[in-house]
Amino acid sequence: MADAFSVLRRDHEKVERTLAALEDGPNAGSGADQGELLARRKLTQQLITDEAVHEAIEETYFWPVVRDRMPGGGELADEAIGQEQAAKQVLHLLEQLGAWDDGFEKLLREFIAAARDHVAFEETKVWPGLREVLSTQEISELGEKLAAAKEHAQA
Ligand SMILES: [Fe+2]
Ligand SMILES: [Fe+2]
């Protein structure tokens, strides 16, 4: 049975692995060759796709529950969705650039920092309070919905 927090956590971990790989990988400034730059561009595209799916699923299924059930949930949801929208704009700009273009690394660094802050916000400011107000059954029902939406998005 899926648990909502485990489903979301798995996505966060995958995003973090990609962020770390991008952070550690060779880039235009560190003398990456063309193949490495193309691989960097491809990994960035994977990040953009994973992020888009994850945030869209949260916006459809997760934030409405936070809003309805958690004390102060409306404000938390607004703040988190604001972070997601800002990140989307950065990714949209990043998507138009190659890893060899000026500005790519700066935008990527900006995104990496914002993405980590956003994940920390969700996991520390939202999840503990939501766990308290949802029953085990509600947490697994929400998990099923999130997992099904994810499967559908990847199909
Ligand atoms: Fe999010
Ligand atoms: Fe998330």
DSSP assignment string, 14-46 = HHHHHHHHHHHS--GGGT--HHHHHHHHHHHHH
46 contacts 18 by C-beta, under 8 angstroms: yes
- Whole-number Å distance, alpha carbon 7 to ligand 1 midpoint, is 13
pLDDT digits (tens, 9 = 90+) for 62-108: 999 999 999 999 999 999 999 999 999 999 999 999 999 999 999 99
Tokens 């949260």 -> residue = 58
pLDDT digits (tens, 9 = 90+) for 21-56: 999 999 999 999 999 999 999 999 999 999 999 999
Q: Is the pLDDT of residue 154 over 90?
A: no
pLDDT band at 2 (very low <50, low <70, confident <90, very high): confident
Q: Is the pLDDT of residue 7 over 80?
A: yes
- Whole-number Å distance, alpha carbon 8 to ligand 2 midpoint, is 6
Q: What is the CATH number of domain 4-154?
A: 1.20.120.520
pLDDT digits (tens, 9 = 90+) for 142-151: 999 999 999 9
- Whole-number Å distance, alpha carbon 75 to ligand 2 midpoint, is 16
Residue 153 and residue 149: Cα distance in Å, rounded?
A: 6
- Whole-number Å distance, alpha carbon 31 to ligand 2 midpoint, is 33
Question: Which one of the ligands is nearest to 5 CA?
Answer: 2
Tokens 């998507």 -> residue = 95
Q: What protein residues have CB closer than 5 angstroms to ion ligand 2? A: 122
pLDDT at 1: 65
Every domain of the chain and the residues it spans:
4-154
Per-residue exposure over 126-155, b if at least 16 CB sit within 10 Å of its own CB, e if not: bbebbeeebeeeebbbbbebbbebbeeeee
